[in-house]
Structure 1
């Protein structure tokens, strides 16, 4: 039982670290999108070639796709973390209270 509990706790720690890492990645991608949009506005204001503008627009699209991908991963990891915490609670002998009646 303690081996299972140790395993669950290590999984919880791993999930929490991965969630923290994914949040940092998402934040970095969002900052990159902001920087690229500012650069794109500057390129358009200076009437530079369409090639440069298309390259920056491509970077913005890639970063937007990366943000969506990591946000989906983050959502799944949070759901997995919640399941692990419930499993840890039940493994330690905790019992859920069943509420009867409506909300108070």
Structure 2
């Protein structure tokens, strides 16, 4: 997965800075999921290889010409789960090996103007 963060094109003065909110996100493993919901967790998540074998397409963001903000020095020092596993001599995601060749579809989506 790749991601970029762009400068706010609207400017800070366009946002309501007087009213804040919070959102709590809980990540659960399969045992915790069953304890919280009372049901079985969803089936095994498809891997990159599963997607490729099924002929499913990967999507690409059309952001040519946009420049991402500089990376945070604090966050850029963090490792992914896979990188941490390699450093520890483990393989935390053995079923999710990266693909070197995957079908990519380029999709341009028009967004309508309006008040929402």
Provide the TM-score with structure 1 as the length reference.
0.19
Provide the TM-score with structure 2 as the length reference.
0.18
Choose 1 or 2 for highest CA Rg: 1
Higher relative contact order (CA 8 A, sep 6+): 1
